[in-house]
């Protein structure tokens, strides 16, 4: 049995405390009037004239390609009213972006840590459904990580409900005024409307949490079952296979709903897949990191280098898979160069150049080179180092998915971003390690446990 180390518990609470302070400062420092917003941006640019000039240009581009920009509420309106209300419309737009910023930062962090738990759940279900022999000794680690699914789901759902009640302006299509001026969104209202959006979210979350609840229950029941009785194992196999069918459909829809609809004009057919790749690679990385941490504290004595080697192989392979999808999405849109599609990447390359290309280095080139060697995949400190880079890289990936649509070019890594990350990191650590201390770290009744113990690569 693992006992939750006091120091780790304190670390988790400190992270949560610091995170809350950061979020509070982030929310407190948002402007409430157009004038304040303009003053903030002018300060940041070191001169009102300059800032105004460059924004003026930016606005002109909006006006010419009125369909290109799907991220702004007042877009169609601004284009129509270009002549008279130029400054007003633009100032209001800026105000909304700055007001969105802490909300978006909160959403990025909340989704990122939720996604780790969800990815782990999918990875766990794949192992169960495939009746894999090697990862049995890591099942309890995975179950510990998926324990975050419950608080994570609640936070995400509350967030989505608040968004639906217009506490923030993250989703443009929730704004009736914008929809009234936007024919493309009007055509999608049958799918993109607040009640249906929340009902869908509830279905996804309930389905995933139900699988998590039952698989954990059967897994624990199998430990106490008399020898020879593998009925719980079989039940787990069956519900895992069923869950995977449900998951791959709902995960894709979740990616459209929660992320892709932030840019309601834009669509990509492999988007669900792309989010899934990000999810799985982060999840496997976190499984490896938690396992190495537990091993360093003397737990998991039967987990050997071969198990970690397999996880590192997944980290390597899924990183390449992520890159494949990232590039497939990018190249096709870059090549065809259709305005309403390519705007997605234009905003990212123009306004998010460093995070956009930086994450390719962190999520592809670095893991590719460092994890290619078989010996390196067996070395704990290399896995930890590569893992930390991969986790941060995929946080930036989510950042790049959510921020451009919600705050536009007004992004920076400030109080709310760091605070959000720290708060959810703390909560994640607290929930995961508390769950790990609830059950023996080694599965005992699983029919394949012997295979996992003898596992040698």
Residues of this chain that interact with another protein (CB under 8 A) are 327, 330-331, 334-337, 372-374, 456
Report the chain's C-alpha Rg in angstroms.
23
Between 296 and 374, CB nearer to another protein: 374
The DSSP code for 414 is: -
Name 402's Cβ contacts closer than 8 Å, sequence gap at least 6.
Answer: 104, 107, 108, 111, 170, 259, 262
Between 361 and 372, CB nearer to another protein: 372
Between 136 and 333, CB nearer to another protein: 333
CB-based burial label for 131 (10 Å; 0-12, 13-18, 19+): exposed
Q: How far is the CB of 327 from another protein (least distance, A)?
A: 7
Q: How far apart, in whole angstroms, are the C-alpha atoms of residue 262 and residue 433?
A: 33
* Concatenated DSSP letters of 316-372: HHHHHHHHHHHHHHHHHHHHH--HHHHHHHHHHHHHSHHHHHHHHIIIIIHHHHHS-
Backbone angles phi, psi at 72, to 5 degrees: -115, 140
Count of residues making up the chain: 457
Q: How far is the CB of 313 from another protein (least distance, A)?
A: 14
Name 163's Cβ contacts closer than 8 Å, sequence gap at least 6.
Answer: 103, 170, 171, 174
Name 364's Cβ contacts closer than 8 Å, sequence gap at least 6.
Answer: 319, 320, 322, 323, 326
Q: How far is the CB of 451 from another protein (least distance, A)?
A: 14
Q: How far is the CB of 287 from another protein (least distance, A)?
A: 25
Between 293 and 457, CB nearer to another protein: 457
Between 214 and 334, CB nearer to another protein: 334
User: Closest Cα partner for 115 from 316, 319, 363, 285?
Assistant: 285
Between 210 and 331, CB nearer to another protein: 331
Between 32 and 374, CB nearer to another protein: 374
88 with 397: CB under 8 angstroms?
no
Q: How far is the CB of 356 from another protein (least distance, A)?
A: 13
Q: How far is the CB of 373 from another protein (least distance, A)?
A: 8
Q: How far is the CB of 376 from another protein (least distance, A)?
A: 11
């Amino acid at each position: 049995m693992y006992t939750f180390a006091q120091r780790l518990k304190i670390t988790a609470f400190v992270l949560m405390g610091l995170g809350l302070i950061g979020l509070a400062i982030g929310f407190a420092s948002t402007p409430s009037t157009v004038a304040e917003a303009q003053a903030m941006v002018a300060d940041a640019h070191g001169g009102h004239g300059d800032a105004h000039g460059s924004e003026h240009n930016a606005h002109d581009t909006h006006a010419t390609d009125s369909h290109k920009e799907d991220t702004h509420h007042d877009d169609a309106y601004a284009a129509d009213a270009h002549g008279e209300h130029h400054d007003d419309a633009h100032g209001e737009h800026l105000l909304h972006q700055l007001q969105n910023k802490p909300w978006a930062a909160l959403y990025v962090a909340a989704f990122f840590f939720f996604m780790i738990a969800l990815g782990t759940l999918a990875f766990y279900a794949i192992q169960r459904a495939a009746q894999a022999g090697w990862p049995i000794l890591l099942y309890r680690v995975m179950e510990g990580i998926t324990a975050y699914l419950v608080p994570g789901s609640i936070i995400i759902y509350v967030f989505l409900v608040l968004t639906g009640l217009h506490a923030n302006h993250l989703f443009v299509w929730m704004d009736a005024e914008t929809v009234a001026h936007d024919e493309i969104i009007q055509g999608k209202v049958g799918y993109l409307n607040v009640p249906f959006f929340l009902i869908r979210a509830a279905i996804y979350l309930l389905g995933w949490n139900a699988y998590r609840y039952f698989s954990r229950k059967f897994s624990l029941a199998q430990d106490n079952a008399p020898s020879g009785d593998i009925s719980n194992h079989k039940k787990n196999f069956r519900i895992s296979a069923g869950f995977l069918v449900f998951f791959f459909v709902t995960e894709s829809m979740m990616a459209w709903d929660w992320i892709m609809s932030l840019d309601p004009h834009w669509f990509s057919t492999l988007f669900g897949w792309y989010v899934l790749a990000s999810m799985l690679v982060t999840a496997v990385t976190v499984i490896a990191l938690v396992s190495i941490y537990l091993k360093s504290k003397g737990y998991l004595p039967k987990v050997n280098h071969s198990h970690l080697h397999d996880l590192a192989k997944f980290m390597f392979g899924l990183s390449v898979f992520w890159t494949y999808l990232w590039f497939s999405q990018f190249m096709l849109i870059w090549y065809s160069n259709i305005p309403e599609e390519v705007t997605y990447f234009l905003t990212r390359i123009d306004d998010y150049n460093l995070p956009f290309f930086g994450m390719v280095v962190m999520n592809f080139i670095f893991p590719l080179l460092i994890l290619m060697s078989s010996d390196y995949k067996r070395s704990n400190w290399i896995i930890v180092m590569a893992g930390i880079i991969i986790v941060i890289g995929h946080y930036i990936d989510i950042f790049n998915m959510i921020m451009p649509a919600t705050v536009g070019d007004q992004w920076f890594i400030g109080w709310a971003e760091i605070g959000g990350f720290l708060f959810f990191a703390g909560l994640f650590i607290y929930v995961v390690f508390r769950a790990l201390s609830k059950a023996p770290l080694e599965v005992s009744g699983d029919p394949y446990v012997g295979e996992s113990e003898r596992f040698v690569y």
